[in-house]
Structure formats: C-alpha cells, structure tokens
A and B are shown apart, each in its own frame.
Chain A
C-alpha cells in the first residue's frame, strides 16, 4: 500500500462563520470520508476551521498557464472595474 495509489483531494477550510471556504492544500485518501478525516488532522489541528470541504482533484477544471494572457490580460487596464470608487457602507465587514 502506498499513498500514490490513492486519489488526490483538494481541501477547503472555512476558518469561521461568515467567511467562505479557502483552499488549504491537498492530500491523498482512499475515499471521501477518509479524505475529510485526513483533512481534519492535517489542516484543522490548530483549530483553524469550523467546516471542511474535500473535492477530488481530478474534478477540478483549471485554466491553463498558456492561456494566461487572453484570460487575464484584458482586465489589466480597466481600473474602473475596481470598487475603489465607492464608499463602503458602515458596518460592512469581510468585504
């Protein structure tokens, strides 16, 4: 038995209520339930989280580094798309 026989899982941890899950890393596990438990041991042992998601890595479709320019380049010169021209209403946190 070796870890390379097991599928890879991506781990997302929500650090507290109100925040979204953030990618924390990845791990090997034989199935989803064990992946959750491994994630708990690897990524939340210092009480970093209140909720954990695990996703099979092969289910993730990622943008290719080769397509970086057509994908992200056009947004570079459009500063008016940034919300910096608006005032943030009082009482809004986590924006």
Chain B
C-alpha cells in the first residue's frame, strides 16, 4: 500500500483492515455533503444535508478510532491509501445529482449495516438507523424530483444515469477477517437493485441499463484507485491539518 508515509504503526496496520473502506466511504461522502453548506437550495435542506453529513462523520470517527489514530487516518493519507468507493467521492453536481448519489449510497449502506449488525458488528447496529433515515430522505427527494417538473425529471434521470457506473463497485466483496468478510454480497446486490427499481418506478425514472462497472473494473476505489475530482477534494479536506500539524483551538 502506498501513500502511508508518516503514519504511526497502529494507523499503518489499519490500512488493510476490512473496516477501513467503510470508514472512508462515510468520511468522504460526509465531506462531499458538507460542500453544500451555504449553497443548498433552501435553509431547511441545508440543515438536512448537514445532519446527514454529521451522521456519516460520526460513523467514520467511530471506525477510525477503533482502527488507529483518527486524525492520521483522515488527514495524513495520500489518495492511493484511501479505500472509499468511487461513488462517495463524486462531486455533488446539481441537487438531483446529490440526492441520487445519496440514494444509491444509503440504500446500499442500510442493507450492508443491517447484515453487519446481525453478524455482531456493534457500530453497525447504531449506524443502520442513521442510514435508514438517509435513504428515506433521499428516496423522498428522488420521488419528488423524478415525478416533479419536466426539468427536475430530466435532471434526476441524468444523475441516475451518470452515477450508475459507480454502483457496481459497491458489491465487490471486501476481504478480511471479522463480520465484513462474512457479508453476503450477492444478497446485498439483489436487495439494493430491488429497492432502487421500486423507487425509480414510483419516481417515473428509468433504471439505467448501462454497465454498473466503470472504466476500472474490479473495485477501483477499494484498491486505492480514484477518479480525478477526488484529489482536489482531498487537498481541500487535508490542507489545514497538514499546514498546521498538531494545531488545536
């Protein structure tokens, strides 16, 4: 694994832990949602997005703290050492794009965490209620955008289509010891596809037929290979910590 210079031994050991990809998913999507602060279409929605972002940040922090040093794992890793799925790192785009991204992600996370909770992962048991709400929120917006005006329908469909190729990666098994290694990924894919299909039907959207795998088949983000916008996001997220190491307020 590259990009891990400057990490303590404990954090470096976390780099291959099967929980790290899940922590990275939550951190990265949390940061993406935070980008809406001050830009959301209405105040109420801005708070809702911030709430979701904070839930995800909380999940990431709990996992990082269990695996190693939180700040090191969040701020001192290079792009290649991040194992989040590429879906999470996609820029927000317009509001429909953000909501469909959330729907794809939260529907998946809810099903994954439900499985993990049953397999005895304690943090998942708490997080599953959060992801259920996130999914519900995204679902309600998808229905309103898809079955709304001509403009909102077109934007929602465009988002559904353009993000589709990042969803295949969600079902690439994450290998390793513990509950994550025991997840039934095929059941996850089936459950997720049913859920998305049902929501899209109600929202009068078309389930994309294009391949779910992007240019880099086989779990690209999980292997540390990311899309171009991720580097810029990481620079913004990490620059303060790196410019002022150990600073506090």
> What residues of chain A have their CB less than 8 Å away from a CB belonging to chain B?
1-3, 6, 27-31, 33-34, 37-38, 41-42, 45
Task: Let me know if B199 is at the binding interface, CB within 8 A.
Answer: no
User: Are B41 and A37 neighbours in the complex by a CB distance under 8 Å?
Assistant: no
Complex A-B: 24 CB contacts under 8 Å: A1-B42, A2-B41, A2-B42, A3-B41, A3-B42, A3-B43, A3-B44, A6-B42, A27-B44, A28-B42, A28-B44, A29-B44, A30-B144, A33-B140, A37-B48, A37-B136, A37-B137, A37-B140, A38-B44, A38-B45, A38-B48, A41-B44, A42-B44, A42-B47
Task: Let me know if B51 is at the binding interface, CB within 8 A.
Answer: yes
Give the CA-CA distance A29 to B137 in the complex, in Å.
Answer: 13
Contact of A34 among B41, B47, B144 (CB under 8 A): B144
Closest residue on chain B to residue A30 by CB atoms = B144
> What residues of chain B have their CB less than 8 Å away from a CB belonging to chain A?
41-45, 47-48, 51, 136-137, 140, 144
Q: Which A residues are CB-close (under 8 A) to B41? A: 1-3
Q: Which A residues are CB-close (under 8 A) to B42? A: 1-3, 6, 28
B52 CB to closest chain A CB (Å) equals 9
Q: Mostly helix, strand, loop or mixed at chain B's interface? A: helix
Give the CA-CA distance A28 to B43 in the complex, in Å.
Answer: 9
Given A1-B42, A28-B43, A42-B44; 11 other pairs, CB 8 A cutoff: A3-B42, A3-B44, A27-B44, A28-B42, A28-B44, A30-B144, A38-B44, A38-B45, A38-B47, A38-B48, A41-B47
Most buried by A among B41, B44, B45, B51: B44
Known contacts A3-B43, A3-B44, A38-B44; A45/B144 CB under 8 A: no
Q: Which B residues are CB-close (under 8 A) to A2? A: 41-42
Q: Which B residues are CB-close (under 8 A) to A31? A: 144
Q: Which A residues are CB-close (under 8 A) to B137? A: 37
User: Are B43 and A45 neighbours in the complex by a CB distance under 8 Å?
Assistant: no
Closest residue on chain B to residue A1 by CB atoms = B41
Closest residue on chain A to residue B52 by CB atoms = A41
Give the CA-CA distance A75 to B95 in the complex, in Å.
Answer: 53
Closest residue on chain A to residue B51 by CB atoms = A41
Closest residue on chain B to residue A3 by CB atoms = B42
In the A-B complex, the 7 residue pairs with the closest CB atoms: A3-B42, A38-B44, A41-B48, A1-B41, A41-B51, A41-B47, A27-B44
B67 CB to closest chain A CB (Å) equals 28
Known contacts A34-B144, A37-B137, A37-B140; A45/B44 CB under 8 A: no
Give the CA-CA distance A30 to B141 in the complex, in Å.
Answer: 11
Give the CA-CA distance A3 to B46 in the complex, in Å.
Answer: 11
Closest residue on chain B to residue A4 by CB atoms = B42
A11 CB to closest chain B CB (Å) equals 11
Q: Which A residues are CB-close (under 8 A) to B144? A: 30-31, 34
Give the CA-CA distance A53 to B43 in the complex, in Å.
Answer: 20
Give the CA-CA distance A52 to B48 in the complex, in Å.
Answer: 16
Closest residue on chain B to residue A35 by CB atoms = B44
